[in-house]
């Protein structure tokens, strides 16, 4: 049954293959372009913030509190925009049918962009809800949820209009967005009990971001590899289903690794440890696929640089470090140190960010010929991003290990420990500067290339 379906599907794709983007696909360009601009803004903010941490007396236009809140919110928001744009693009690509309303997608973008910019201005002015990652004031959260719902409804209308219920990738992407709207809801409620509030917060931070959005991102990534023809479509489709099942099955329960010490019952430690160990399986699956794709490709599209970077950080930051950090006896000593920060940088940007950058870059450059200079510059930018991230994470890992040792073994007090950590935090800032250089080079190169291809 599945074989028959895939054959039918493959024929249909071959028949409909074209060398231009449809209006629905073109509507995803602004989403992809904004991803690069926000990346540059975030890397600038983060580098400035990390310097402020080491030299607190430096004069700054906004407070450290505002800057950090903006940094954290950006780390969720631009990947969201990127995932939305890429999901549209690849659904149209692989189902060969137009979406319900490309005009609505365009308006949805400008609406979301306005909401995000106003949200950032509000955070810069010092308005905060005071919950990590969820600092945005309530009206902006409601505005974002409305944008997300419009998007999901448009997707549902497209599925109904084109009768796409039997396409696994469409169903998975739709379920991902439906879940992401649903899991965004705890964001809107506040509880007086900090344990309840932290649990709700992790439903958004872990399940919304790492669950539903990464589900869509990995699905989109498989389709992306299939359109580059580095993975046969049939294998990509099998991969999508297995990845999705594993990501969701282990992902939901793995949220428990945030529940160890926040005042919830002890059984969450067992659930968290087992489910987090299971999370390594989809990581390995993606790694094996990436390794296999190295052979059949006769050419290397520059967007694959982002894919391989993403796989690398997924193996190191999510698979290895994430697995170790989720073991309760080890987590007991390293929780609340810079090691967690290293893990979140490697997971959120290293894995998820690179994946979104890759699909967005592919969307923007696919239909134009790439000059050797452009390819070289993009390669350089990716090297800078990776090197910067490696220096940053290295600095944070050393700082985290040292923090654990000095605090819990040597018994120094917090102020003494913090002073001793400063050189490594400075190293992190240096990594941030290298990363920022890569981000600016990338945004310049991608935007200029896109503008040139549109004008000429």
Where in 12-71 is the site for another protein (CB under 8 A)?
53-57, 64-66, 68-69
Query: Which residues between 150 and 179 bind another protein (CB under 8 A)?
Result: 166, 168, 171-172, 175
Query: What is the footprint of another protein within residues 360-399 (CB under 8 A)?
Result: none
Residues touching another protein: how many (CB under 8 A)? 80
When asked if residue 426 is in the footprint of another protein (CB under 8 A), the reply is no
Q: Which of 114, 188, 291, 416 binds another protein (CB under 8 A)?
A: 416
Residues 261-290 that bind another protein (CB under 8 A): 261-269, 271
Options 6, 104, 142, 253; binder of another protein; rule CB under 8 A: 253
Nearer to another protein, 235 or 335 (CB): 335
The reply on whether position 351 binds another protein by CB under 8 A is no
* Chain residues 331-350 in contact with another protein, contact rule CB under 8 A: 332-333, 335-338, 340-341
Do 161 and 118 touch, CB atoms closer than 8 A?
A: no
Closer of 371 and 416 to another protein (Cβ): 416
113 to each of 28, 108, 297, how far by Cα in Å? 13, 8, 37
Would you state the torsion angle of the CA atoms of residues 225, 229, 230, 236, taken in this order, to the nearest 10 degrees?
Answer: 50
Residue 125: strand, helix, or coil: coil
The two three-digit tokens of residue 273, written as one number = 């440890």
DSSP 172-238: HHHHHHHHHHHHHGGGG---SSHHHHHHHHHIIIIIIIIIIIHHHHHHHHHHHHHHTTSS-HHHHHH
Residue 1 in contact with another protein, rule: CB under 8 A: yes
Alpha-helical segments (H) within 214-350: 214-227, 233-254, 267-278, 280-293, 303-313, 323-325, 328-334, 338-344
If the CB atoms of residues 255 and 293 are measured against another protein, the closer one turns out to be: 255
- Shortest reach from residue 108's CB to another protein, in Å: 26
Whole-angstrom distance, CA of residue 395 vs CA of residue 19: 46
* Cβ count within 10 A of residue 434: 21
Residues 100-129 that bind another protein (CB under 8 A): 126, 128-129
Listed ranges 40-48, 104-112, 379-387, 403-411: which one lies at the site for another protein (CB under 8 A): 403-411
Contact with another protein (CB under 8 A) among 138, 139, 195, 296: 195
How far apart (Å, rounded) are the C-alpha atoms in residues 17 and 59? 56
Q: Which is nearer to another protein, 303 or 403 (CB)?
A: 403
Taking CA atoms, 244 is separated from 16, 219, 286, in Å, by 27, 7, 11
* Binding residue (CB under 8 A) for another protein from 291, 422, 451, 452: 422
Binding track, positions 197-236, relative to another protein; x by CB under 8 A = -xx-------------------------------------
CA gap 40, 47 in Å, rounded: 11
Q: Is 413 in the site for another protein (CB under 8 A)?
A: yes
């Amino acid at each position: 049954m599945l074989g028959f379906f895939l054959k039918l599907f493959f024929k249909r794709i071959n028949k409909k293959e074209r060398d231009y983007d449809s209006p629905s696909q073109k509507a995803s360009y602004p989403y992809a372009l904004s991803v690069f601009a926000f990346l540059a803004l975030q890397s600038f903010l983060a580098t400035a913030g990390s310097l402020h941490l080491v030299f607190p007396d430096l004069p700054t236009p906004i407070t450290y509190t505002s800057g950090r809140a903006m940094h954290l919110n950006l780390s969720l928001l631009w990947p969201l925009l990127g995932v939305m744009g890429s999901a549209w693009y690849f659904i149209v690509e692989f189902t060969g049918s137009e979406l319900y309303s490309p005009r609505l997608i365009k308006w949805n973008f400008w609406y979301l962009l306005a909401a995000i910019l106003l949200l950032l201005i509000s955070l810069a002015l010092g308005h905060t809800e005071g919950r990590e990652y969820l600092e945005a004031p309530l009206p902006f959260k409601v505005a974002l949820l409305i944008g997300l719902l419009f998007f999901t409804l448009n997707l549902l209308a497209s599925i109904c209009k084109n009768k796409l219920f039997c396409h696994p990738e469409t169903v998975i992407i739709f379920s991902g967005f439906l879940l992401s709207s649903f899991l965004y809801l705890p964001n809107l409620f506040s509880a007086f009990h900090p344990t309840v509030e932290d649990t709700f917060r992790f439903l958004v931070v872990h399940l919304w971001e790492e669950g539903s959005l990464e589900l869509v991102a990995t699905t989109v990534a498989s389709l992306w590899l299939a359109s580059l023809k580095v993975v046969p479509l049939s294998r990509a489709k099998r991969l999508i289903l297995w990845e999705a099942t594993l990501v969701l099955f282990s992902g939901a329960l793995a949220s428990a690794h945030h529940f160890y010490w926040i005042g919830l019952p002890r059984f969450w430690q067992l659930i968290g440890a087992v489910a987090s160990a299971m999370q390594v399986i989809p990581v390995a699956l993606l790694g094996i696929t990436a390794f296999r794709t190295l052979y059949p490709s006769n050419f290397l599209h520059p967007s694959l640089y982002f894919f391989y970077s993403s796989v690398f950080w997924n193996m190191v930051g999510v698979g290895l470090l994430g697995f170790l950090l989720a073991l309760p006896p080890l987590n007991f000593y390293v929780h609340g140190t810079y090691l967690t920060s290293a893990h979140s940088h490697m997971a959120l940007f290293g894995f998820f960010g690179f994946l979104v950058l890759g699909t967005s870059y592919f969307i923007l450059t696919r239909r134009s010929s790439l000059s050797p200079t452009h390819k070289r510059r993009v390669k350089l930018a990716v090297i800078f991003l990776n090197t910067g991230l490696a220096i940053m994470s290295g600095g944070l890992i050393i700082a985290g290990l040292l923090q654990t040792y000095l605090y819990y073994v040597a018994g120094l007090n917090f102020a003494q420990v913090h002073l001793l950590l400063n050189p490594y935090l400075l190293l992190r800032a240096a990594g941030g500067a290298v990363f920022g250089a890569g981000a600016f080079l990338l945004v310049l190169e991608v935007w200029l290339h896109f503008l040139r291809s549109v004008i000429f």
